[in-house]
Homo-oligomer: A and B are copies of this chain.
Amino acid sequence: MVKVDGIKILDATLRDGGLVNNFYFTDEFVKSVYAANIAAGVDYMEFGYRADKKQFAKEKFGKWKFSSDEDIREIVGENPTNMKISIMADVGRCDYRNDIRNKSDSPVDLVRVATYIETISEAIEMIEYADAKGYETTCNLMSISRCTMEQVTEALEQLSQTPAMGVYIVDSYGALYPKEVRKLTRLYSDKLGPVGKLVGIHAHNNQQCAFANTVEAKNMGAKLLDATAYGIGRGAGNCHMEALLGYLNGKKYHVEPILDLVRYSMLPLKEQGVEWGYNTAYLITGLTNQHPRDAIGATKVGNRDFREQFRYHSYE
């Protein structure tokens, strides 16, 4: 049996999945995910972003773009479970001084601050703010495959002095291979371990490496592992929760509730036309270490000129 000591699994089905349907999930769907995660032993469930309503029109998105305390509360009540609740706050897209209240008034336990490496100081401000309000915090360093090791080292040194409980390797472009994930996990561990912080991984599946990379990071000591049901997430999607919990299945984690969720909620969602998952356009942006936006566009219109897509991205 695979060891799970200290592992914290976070389900990002609603948050990363919301990127493919503008966060329009039915309450019934959200409740199914919540119940399945609890039964499976998932440690954290992320409900969505807490986006700034002044920047994003409320009528253009489902409620999990904003994940208000009230909307979360409507699903989880007092959340009388062992599973904690998280939201994601993007640097520059979250009016955190107004929208993040005291923890004692909120069902949220963890605020994950997502940032590019260039905006790390704003991220640190947000982390300190949310910590002062009583939340657990992490920093999610996006597009890590575009950063130099020097940049990452510097960011980790800054983050090691914050109250964040952990920092994530976020492979936004699905560009990393297992070897690079091991190298990054080692670097993160070296910088964060001595100050008692955890290493996390959030993988994308452009090259079908999301699960393999998550397992590799775990083997190298990463403790915060992200996954989503049936891999739902932007573009090629994420590490499949049913794969990760199947791998870790045992006393602490149980894959069966997620297998049911795939059967009764995720495959039906796909069949209703919600699109995500590996294809050749996503492979190409992964191989060339590019943002998936062009591949999302190509997928939407059924553009199969892969030769041209590869040429374009190879010389970008």
* Chain A contact residues, CB within 8 Å of chain B: 177-179, 205, 207-213, 215-216, 219, 230, 240, 242-243, 246-247, 249, 255-256, 259-260, 262-263, 267, 278, 280, 283-284, 287, 304-307, 310-311, 314
Contacts and interface: CB of A to CB of B under 8 A. Distances in A.
B310 A255 contact: yes
Given A247-B287, A259-B307, 18 more contacts: A178-B212, A178-B215, A178-B216, A179-B216, A208-B209, A208-B210, A208-B243, A240-B283, A242-B280, A242-B283, A243-B283, A246-B283, A246-B310, A249-B287, A249-B314, A256-B311, A260-B306, A263-B305
Closest 9 pairs (CB-CB, A-B): A212-B212, A259-B306, A246-B287, A208-B208, A263-B304, A178-B178, A209-B212, A256-B307, A259-B307
A267 to B, nearest CB: 7
Contacts of A179: 215-216, 219
Nearest to A231: B208
A98 to B, nearest CB: 42
A284 to B, nearest CB: 7
Chain A: interface secondary structure?
A: helix
A242 B256 CA distance: 34
**A205, A207, A210, A280 interface centre (most CB from chain B within 10 Å):** A280
Contacts of A207: 211-212, 243
